[in-house]
Structure 1
Amino acid sequence: MQDYDEFVDKFKHKKTTDDCYTPPAIYEAVLTWCEKEYGIDRASVIRPFKPGGGYQREDYTGRVVVDNPPFSILAQIVDWYNERGIKYFLFAPSLTALNYAQRKGMCFVFVDARITYENGAQVRTAFLTNMDDCITRSACDLSRELDKVNKQVKEEKTYGRTQNRANKVVKYNYPSELMTSARLGNLAAKGVQFKIKRAHFVRSLAAQKPLKKAIFGGGLLISRKDAADIRAQEAQLQDAADIRAQGVQLQDGVYTFALSEREQAIVDNL
């Protein structure tokens, strides 16, 4: 005999990524960053995406959209806004954000953010905007703030979601002139500052086609100069991290040395 709870559960609304309602603290962090970065007036901001609402019926005169839209119709939304010259800064799933790369005037803002939404879904999130002057960029300060706020959100409410990781994931190693969504997010996590103004969108490399492989979410081919600049920043940040790991801090040409755990133990016993 079927359990009563299982029977009732069949009739409950099954939540999807379109039900990823944004925790207020997360939204506030994003809005505050947009105010600082793009000089927008908070009073002009509109959030048109509501359960059962119709974003096309809103009055956008003098307004700027900062919101988390239904991901399933994101392409339709950005096309509608672009056609009408409506300014926006929209949440988007990070791993597929580059699917919109062929749309003119759009910038992909990458952060290292796995946001926990109100329904418990944890989604790697990036942002789409038409208020920037480049194709893609990092937002390291926003990334740090979202990481801090997201930890607070998770502490306030534990969701207990688990994933089956039994299957081994095949990893691809791409040349530095190819930027994937995952790599762009990783660069933002490391603190690499970049703004790429010229790029070419591809869904796969020629070398992948005989193997019937493709780039998940697509990728951007960037110039050798941009790739070299990013590699140089990564190397510099890695060197700084290595120095810190060895108990050494370098600032303004001055080395500051720290005691190791063994040396601290000796001092404690003196």
Structure 2
Amino acid sequence: MGTKIVQHNIFGEMEEIRTKKTRKEVFEDYDGFVNKFKPKLTTDDCYTPQYVYDVIRDWVDENVIPLEGKRVVRPFCPGGDYRNFDYSGDCFVLDNPPFSILAEIRDFYAEHNIGYFLFAPALTLFSRLGKNEDNVTYIVAAAKIVYDNGAEVRTSFITNRIPGELRVTVRGDLFRRVKEATDRMEGMTKKEQPRYVYPSHVISSALLNKIAERDIILDIPARECEYIRALDSQRAAKKSIFGYGFLLSERLAAERLAAERLAARKSTVWELSERENEIIKRLSANP
């Protein structure tokens, strides 16, 4: 079948380097031809299973904003244009947007005062900042979702409709609900990811996933946290916090320790700098 191409290797032996298809074989390879024109799916093409969407919608109705009487909309259909979508009436966006333009989407909704509850990649949740972070809450759920295109993505959420100044909230109850629904449908198993060890005053979405998995609730007010991309001790090593994170006040650091004990393992331990300790003192002075 086909034409075998051979050549001498460095030992003077003959070896096959490739097999060239005949014209007949190329013509008959219909599947290979069709596959060339199929769109390549990315995390922007993750379509939410309905049973997962229903669980999240119920949770939002109970914990974020009552949805009765609201027009719950999903602008991010394949080939859709979210900017020209009909947002008239008392609408609320609850959908899984393209992750690559999540910050752009949030800026658009902030500019037009549109309420939203958006899916976001759990491990890089804090790296999707928009221009206006007022009234924005990051919901750490670390829900393992197998989307309709087969992609398995740890998923958390971002909303602009939780009252008050809550910046981050860890919701193990949402993780549990999605897991229970997914286990019934998919029989998913838990996979543990490697982690660095950070001081108790530092959180990232990846670190908080462990708390969510333990069915624990942890609230982090905006006045007791400050956004950071890396610790000063990491910068010298040209490292950063994966997905970025927040510095916490003394009170919240103690709550985090009570909620989560990282697994003992050989890890790189990042230390707080004098500058970062000063920030923590400032944050702790305004509980």
Task: State the TM-score, normalizing by the size of structure 1.
Answer: 0.77
User: Match of 2:150, SS?
Assistant: coil
- 1:142 is aligned to 174
Aligned to 2:6: none
Contact 1:205 1:214 in 2 (8 A): yes
Task: Verify the 8 A CA contact 1:91 1:125 in the aligned structure 2.
Answer: yes
Q: Which residue of 2 aligns with 1:58?
A: 85
- Whole-Å Cα distance in 1 between the matches of residues 66 and 159 of structure 2? 13
Name the CA distance, whole Å, in 1 between partners of 2:200 and 2:242: 16
Distance apart, 1:201 and its partner CA: 1.2
Using the alignment, how far apart are the partners of 2:150 and 2:128 within structure 1?
26
Indicate yes or no: 2:204 matched with 1:180. yes
Larger Rg: 2
Which secondary structure does the structure 1 equivalent of 2:32 belong to?
helix
Q: What is the CA–CA distance in structure 1 between the aligned matches of 2:68 and 2:181, rounded to whole Å?
A: 20
Question: What SS is found at the alignment partner of 2:235?
Answer: helix
Cα distance, 1:6 vs. partner? Answer: 2.9
Cα gap change, 1:173 to 1:94, in 2 (>3 Å): same
Does the 8 A contact of 1:101 with 1:201 survive in 2? no
* CA 1:55–1:106: 2 relative to 1, 3 Å: same
Superposed, 1:72-91 pairs within 5 Å as 72-91=100-119
1:89-118 C-alpha deviation (Å, 9 max, x unpaired): 010101111013562221110113111000
- Residue 83 of structure 1 deviates from its aligned partner by 1.3
Secondary structure of the corresponding residue to residue 216 of structure 1: coil
Change (3 A) 1:193 1:152: same
Which residue in the other structure is 2:126 paired with?
98
- Give SS of 2:243's match: coil
Q: Distance in 2 between matches of 1:39 and 1:214?
A: 35
| Counterpart among 26, 47, 66 of residue 40 in structure 1 | 66
Give the drift of 1:43. Answer: 4.6
Q: CA deviation at 1:119?
A: 0.3
Following the alignment from structure 1 to structure 2, what is the Cα–Cα distance between the partners of residues 222 and 70? 30
Three-state SS of the structure 1 residue aligned to 2:118 is strand
Deviation at 1:171, TM superposition (A): 3.9
How far apart are 1:214 and its partner, in Å?
1.1
Structure 2: gaps of 5 or more residues: 1-20, 264-287
CA distance in 2, matches of 1:101, 1:225: 25
Aligned-residue sequence identity (percent) comes to 41
Answer yes or no: is 1:24 the counterpart of 2:50.
yes
Q: What is the distance in 2 between the residues matched to 1:154 and 1:80? A: 35
Superposition RMSD in Å: 2.1
Please state whether the residue corresponding to 2:210 is helix, strand or coil: helix
Q: Please give the per-residue CA displacement for 1:9-55, whole angstroms capped at 9, x wherever unaligned.
A: 12211111111000000000000001111242245211111111111
2:150 equivalent to 1:123: no
C-alpha spacing 1:97/1:171, structure 2 compared with 1 (3 Å): closer
Q: What CA deviation, in whole Å up to 9, does each residue of 1:56-91 have, x standing for no partner?
A: 222323111111111111111101001111111010
Equivalent position of 2:234 in the other structure: 208
Query: Is the deviation greater in 139-148 or in 1-10?
Result: 1-10
Larger helix proportion of the pair: 1
Distance 1:153 1:78 in 2: 31
The AA in structure 2 aligned to 1:64 is: F
Measure, in 2, the Cα distance between the counterparts of 1:51 and 1:42. Answer: 27
Partner of 1:191 in structure 2? 215
Q: How far apart, CA to CA, are the structure 1 residues paired with 2:85 and 2:195?
A: 44
SS in structure 1 of the partner of residue 177 of structure 2: helix
Q: Does 1:71 align with 2:99?
A: yes
Three-state SS of the structure 1 residue aligned to 2:217 is coil
* TM-score normalised to structure 2 length: 0.73
- Structure 2 vs 1, CA of residues 140 and 171 (structure 1 numbering), >3 Å: closer, same or farther? closer
Answer whether contact 1:64 1:88 (CA < 8 A) is retained.
Answer: yes
User: Residue by residue, what CA displacement relative to the aligned partner does 1:214-234 show, whole Å, maximum 9, x if unpaired?
Assistant: 111111111111110222244
Equivalent residue for 2:144? 114
